[in-house]
Structure 1
Amino acid sequence: MAASRRGFLFAFGSAGALLLPVLGASAALAADGAAVLDGARLSPLWALPFAGMLLSIALFPLLAGHFWHHHYGKVALFWGLAFAAPFALTYGFPATAHEVVHTALLEYIPFIILLFALFTVSGGILITGNLKGTPEVNTAILAIGTVIASLIGTTGASMVLIRPLLRANDGRRHNVHTVVFFIFLVSNIGGSLTPLGDPPLFLGFLKGVNFFWTTTHLFHDTAVVVGLLIVAYYLLDRFLYARDVKPPLPVDPTPDTEGIGMRGAQNLALLGGIIGAILLSALWKPGISFDIYGTHLELQWVVRDVLLVGLALASLAITPQLLRERNGFDWEPIREVAKLFAAIFLTIIPVIAILKAGSRGAFAPLVELVTGADGQPVNVWYFWLTGSLSAFLDNAPTYLVFFNLAGGDPHQLMGPLAVTLEAISAGAVFMGALTYIGNAPNFMVLSIARHRGVKMPSFFGYMLWSFGFLIPCFVLLTLLYFI
């Protein structure tokens, strides 16, 4: 339990260390001294720290993996200060403090608290026993994972199901395709139906998108892609299973020593509590807010975040440490996400400001690309540009960029521009599956699979799989819904 507390404090403390240099300076500033940031006056050079941060995430693990593993926090801090220090000197501390506090209180802190709660609670659920990895069993696990990903998040569903799926298939010669499709469906596409499912949609929820908007507007997109991929997987697995069962049969390294079951079931109630806390913040409107350096913080948001942290602490208290150890649970994945996203949310501030300026800003050519001659959004470009950047950078900040490029008004985007928001949401969630770096659970699943002895494809080898199976699905979606 002491180790769990230390991990909890370190996960949050390490992320806070990235924001404290700026937040600490802002504490001495009056809110009425904060100026509204005019993106039309900003040079595109202010986007360089953001681009540098995302390129670091994409390239360092591939080119200098050892260095990145030990120093990614320092890299994140470097890019965060590369924006904050010159920006404060150029535009003043009050304006910088206002923007940083606004981003931290309304976007980063709620975002990381939700991920932390899902990660902690799902890490206390252990599926025991060893299923036999037949095509029917594997397809059922993928289908179940796809469904629950929108309920407990792609991170939660991936962490709960990847280990039992690997145990079920560790006696087969061919198991790489199963992990690849798991990343497609459970770690990405399955999280498209609620803000709980995938970080981009939660950011949209924080921006004012209704909780069940994605459920109603992305259901048909998700059904098409999931249906095609489930059928494709089942046929492929049947073909490979027929080859696996031919003698000589491989020895199952994890024979049945314990019946199929679940340990840590008390965490299921806590997962229900997480869902309840999110719904509470969406439905309860007490009309009470706090003004913190020009940022209006609603009471229901504060209550939600306090409840989520409380539920995570409750999971640590009621779940035996041995159970988490058997589950391979450790704090490194959430610690890495917390540090990296602190820098991402900081460096994206000027990018969003420029995009909000529209045709008056430095990114006017991008605005023109996604805007037709009649001034209406070109939904095809919103889908493919959001998706392409989500695949190679990260889908959460990419969603924010295009959300603001489309105007940033949730009421307009849920109403007259509903198809545009659908295109942005589908692109960010679905195409995060195109690469290992498109979504946080992708790398987590990759790491666990490799540790269990699965010979996972390289970065570009995985892209052969993803482009071969996913791009045709996305082309079909384009023809059905976005043209």
Structure 2
Amino acid sequence: MTCLPLLASASGAAIPLALIIPFVLLLMLIAVMPLMVAKVKHWWEHRYPFVAIGLGLLVVVYYLLRIPGGGETIAHTLEEYFSFICLIGALFTVAGGIHIKVKGSATPVGNIVFLAVGAVLANFIGTTGASMVLIRPWLRMNKIRLGAYHVIFFIFIVSNAGGALTPIGDPPLFLGYLRGVPFFWLIEHVFLIWLLVIGLILAVFFAIDFRAFKKTPSAVQSEIGESDTWRFEGGLNLLFLLVIIGAVFLPAKFFLREIVMLAAAAGSYFSTPRAVHAQNEFNFGPIREVAFLFAGIFMTMMPALGYLEQHGQEFGFKKPAQYYFAAGSLSSVLDNAPTYVNFLELAETTVRAEEPAAFAALGDEKHAAVRLLLERRPLLVIAVSLGAVFFGAMTYIGNGPNFMVKSIAESSGVRMPTFFGYILKYSLPFLLPILALVGWLFL
């Protein structure tokens, strides 16, 4: 798959800065609208597909009429979007067919083991899939002493930081894979950083949970783990999950990879008993929202990527820590997938400027800029990847699963903090120091 930013500027046509407005506007709407008063929020819930597609079409029309080679850029953008949504949709569908009932062992040790397993699982079925599979068992096993911090640390670990090792783990990393970052490159380069982050977050959670556990009356403590039993339903979906993971390595030609993923998703949906879907409260609403919003994001993102290629050096970003904190800051309040793509493109422009001869020597090689980036400035890729994934946990809107987990918890009776309460009570005092430490130590 050709890297679309190169196509966007192959003709040398200048990308007008004003053409980025639809992209910025769409991201702002995604961030702000769910937080508005009920009437406005209701309007957005029923109109967001038209808004997202409408803004995307504005950019598409301009590219077709005013940008030489714009049609080719649009075609490759749609191809990339199709690959992206097939993976996310397939993982979501298969996860919806797996139901786990956990024996209620909500001791501090049992809880950190559960979260650690969730962090690993996120790299195999994605943060969205792991969140949807595990949030209800997590709430049930902690039902006797359930607090908001249980849900928030679940978001920190399972819905975000856990999925930093593989392209399946988090949507930004899959986009990197589509653009030429090898599947196992990240796990080889960031495993120790990932282990440190997960370990530190778990340590903070353990301290908070241990304190709360000690305050629980001994009579209540003795009840923990007595009423529930272990149960796993939907085992056939593990086979479909393996098919999807295997499909990631198939050739991209003729959409073979995507066809296999969709076939696995269909097989999972129709073979899963209705009782399992009912217990998981499964429906296609969340993935429908992702599909429409990301269709708009991919289309409106084209001029932003083209502009970054043409003007990226003017931003003066040179050091990995700058990329880490800048990508992280935007990923906290905007969707982390487009944030990742934009900063990866910025890193590509940096290495092209620093190594013009090496870049020219690669000629028309597929994903030439990414290959050069991985060889000469690997820390930039690490910084963008970790910034996009880790900082997605800073707010409810930093990553897709965050809001879904919040909604499920509230429907189960958990009093969750407000948007700013989440940040002030948890993200800033607990998560940010850990992420800042990582930036200081490794980047």
Q: TM (normalized to structure 1)?
A: 0.82
Superposed displacement of residue 230, structure 1: 0.8
1:313 paired residue among 242, 249, 266: 266
Match of 2:135 in 1: 162
Partner of 1:71: 47
Pairs aligned (count): 414
Out of 271, 275, 298, the position equivalent to 2:245 is 275
Alignment partner of 1:478 is 2:439: yes
Q: What does 1:458-473 align with in structure 2 at a 5 Å threshold?
A: 458-464=418-424, 465-473=426-434
Counterparts of residues 230-241 of structure 1 (less than 5 Å): 230-241=202-213
Q: Does 1:144 align with 2:104?
A: no
- Aligned partner (choices 329, 352, 366) of residue 282 of structure 2: 329
Q: What is the distance in 2 between the residues matched to 1:212 and 1:206?
A: 13
1:210-231: per-residue Cα shift (whole Å, max 9, x none)?
1000101111211111111111
Instruction: Please give the residue correspondences for 1:197-212 in structure 2 after superposition, counting only pairs within 5 Å.
Output: 197-212=169-184
1: CA distance, partners of 2:8 / 2:179:
21
CA contact (8 A) 1:386 1:424 kept: yes
Q: Which residue of 2 aligns with 1:445?
A: 405
Give 3-state SS (helix, strand or coil) of 2:250's partner: helix
Give, in angstroms, the shift of residue 192 of structure 1. 0.6
Structure 1 residue runs of 5 or longer lacking an equivalent are 1-33, 282-297, 371-376
Measure the CA separation in 2 of the matches of 1:197 and 1:400: 16
Measure the CA separation in 2 of the matches of 1:382 and 1:39. 26
CA distance in 1, matches of 2:173, 2:8: 29
Q: What residue number does 1:432 align with?
A: 392
Distance in 2 between residues matched to 1:481 and 1:130, nearest whole Å: 39
3-state secondary structure, aligned to 1:194:
coil
Would the aligned equivalents of 1:87 and 1:96 in 2 still touch at CA under 8 Å?
A: yes
Give structure 1 regions of 4+ aligned residues with deviation exceeding 6 angstroms. 252-255
Counterpart for residue 103 of structure 1: 77
2:61 corresponds to which letter in structure 1?
A
Which AA in structure 1 matches 2:238? Answer: L
CA deviations 1:48-67 (Å, max 9, x no partner) are 00000000000111113222
In the alignment, is the contact (CA less than 8 A) between 1:277 and 1:308 conserved in 2?
A: yes
CA distance in 1, matches of 2:244, 2:398: 25
Match of 1:410 among 370, 380, 385: 370
Instruction: Provide the rounded CA distance (Å) in 2 between the counterparts of 1:38 and 1:230.
Output: 50
Contact 1:170 1:253 in 2 (8 A): no
Structure 2 equivalent of residue 12 of structure 1: none
Shift of 1:96: 3.3
Q: What is the TM-score of this pair, normalised by structure 2?
A: 0.89
Change (3 A) 1:51 1:253: farther
Q: Secondary structure at the match of 1:328?
A: coil
Give the whole-Å Cα distance in 2 for the aligned partners of 1:132 and 1:154: 23
Aligned pair in 2 of structure 1 residues 198, 321: CA closer, same or farther (>3 Å)? same
- The CA distance in 2 between the partners of 1:38 and 1:58, in whole Å, is 34
Secondary structure at 2:232 match in 1? strand
| SS, match of residue 140 in structure 2 | helix
8 A Cα contact 2:63 2:71, kept in partner:
no
| Cα shift at 1:133 | 1.7
User: Does residue 382 in structure 1 map to residue 323 in structure 2?
Assistant: yes
Give the corresponding residue for 2:381.
421
> In the alignment, which residue of structure 1 is the partner of 2:338?
397
Does the 8 Å CA contact 1:191/1:197 hold for their aligned counterparts? yes
How far is the alpha carbon of 1:78 from its aligned partner? 2.6
SS of corresponding position for 2:105: coil
Deviation at residue 440 of structure 1 after TM alignment: 0.7
Query: How big is each residue's C-alpha offset from its partner over 1:62-119, in whole Å with a ceiling of 9 and x where there is no partner?
Result: 1132222222112212321332234434347xx33222111011x2100000000100
The 5 Å alignment of 1:236-275 reads 236-245=208-217, 256=227, 259-275=229-245
Change over 3 Å in CA distance of 1:109–1:35 after alignment to 2: closer
Q: 1:327 to 1:215 in 2, by over 3 A?
A: same
Over the matched positions of the two proteins, sequence identity in percent amounts to 42
Q: How far did residue 39 of structure 1 move?
A: 6.3
Give structure 2 stretches of 5+ with no counterpart. 1-6, 350-368
